[in-house]
Amino acid sequence: MESDTLKYEQEIHLKNVKQLTWGGNNAEAYWSFGGDQLIFQSDFDAWGVACDQIFKLDISKAEAGYQPPMISTGLGRTTCAYFLPGDTTIVYGSTHLGDSLCPESPMRSASGKYVWPIYADYDIFTADLNGNILKQLTHTAGYDAEATVSPKGDRIVFTSMRSGDLELYTMDMSGENVVQITDELGYDGGAFFSPDGEKLIFRASRPKTEEEIATYKGLLAEGLVQPTEMELFVCNADGSDLKQITKLGNANWAPFFHPSGEKVIFSSNHEAERGFPFNLYMFNLEGTGLERVTFDSVFDSFAMFSPDGKYLVWASNRFNGGNRDTNLFMAEWVD
């Protein structure tokens, strides 16, 4: 089929690949509970934005030239949107209370290392699909973002700086009953619940040596993290029984549970010598049976299974003509 020109021959788990966006940086596309819509962030200037804003994509309308509606305020910078049960409201992070303009993007750290910004103005909000903010869920000073929702519809997990380090927390859908999940030095983030809502999987850095700790703390004081060495961890939804499940080296991140709850798909550059490529891999929750899923030469990440397990959506640089555009793709999943 024509759509399978968008995959590589070795990608046996992917069938009928379909491109969903055509330009800009599009990432963190997450399914609605009904499985017919995606919510994602994009900085595509042709859509009139200067930095990441939140857009909603009706899968049935995705074609070249289609502009999905923006459902964030258009102010500040946004990140990590997720549908709430019922698919009429969303949760996402935004810096707009600190400044209506886009915050400055760091290029590199003083040492020349690749870094991610940890904007102190990020807070977490709920909103309707018309862009109206309904409620501010976090009010503490410093970074609060990376919110995702339990399939059970009862808890939100997020990353916060409220303790002075980047730790995971959960809260009720109303923002109440906040529980701290992690407490080790290092960046804990990008967490997702298992299909039954009983476990969490996330990425983390764990600086150990004096030099690593000094570097981590120094960058964090500047509002930066260096995401070049991360491994995957799993724990119960209350933080108990915490285990490290990868020891691959380099950056292992953006994990998501397979619908069975027994496997994990994630992005990694552990086979790369110079930082790229990133590809998707899958393995058993115990850390065994590692299998490569994508065979891109540049970047594949942010994979998420549809609620029924039939489809996979992810972000990729594949077949973009050699530019830096990161587009969204979906495929039928073949176990």
What is the Cα–Cα distance from 226 to 232, expressed in whole angstroms?
Answer: 16
Predicted local confidence at residue 192, as pLDDT: 98
Q: Using an 8 Å Cβ cutoff, are 37 and 86 in contact?
A: no
Predicted local confidence at residue 88, as pLDDT: 98
Q: Which residue has the tokens 């991610």?
A: 116
Question: Which residue type sits at 175?
Answer: G
What is the Cα–Cα distance from 67 to 56, expressed in whole angstroms?
Answer: 10
Q: Measured between alpha carbons, how far is residue 244 from residues 204, 248, 287, 290 in Å?
A: 9, 11, 9, 15
Q: Hey, how many other C-beta atoms are within 10 angstroms of the C-beta on 192?
A: 22
H or E segment and range at residue 166: none
Q: Which residues of 278-296 are buried (b: 16+ CB within 10 A; e: fewer)?
A: bbbbbbebebeeeeebbeb
Q: Using an 8 Å Cβ cutoff, are 15 and 335 in contact?
A: no
Question: Which residue type sits at 55?
Answer: F
Q: Which residue has the tokens 């859908």?
A: 173
Predicted local confidence at residue 296, as pLDDT: 93
Q: Does residue 302 come out as left (phi exceeding 0), alpha (psi in the -120 to 50 range) or beta? A: left
Which residue ranges in the chain fall short of pLDDT 50? Answer: 1-2
Any idea of the CA torsion for 12, 13, 15, 20, to the nearest 10 degrees?
-120
What is the Cα–Cα distance from 223 to 106, expressed in whole angstroms?
Answer: 10
Predicted local confidence at residue 1, as pLDDT: 40
- Condensed to tens digits (0 to 9), the pLDDT of residues 160-218 reads 999 999 999 999 999 999 999 999 999 999 999 999 999 999 999 999 999 999 999 99
Count of positions (residues) in the chain:
335
Predicted local confidence at residue 15, as pLDDT: 97
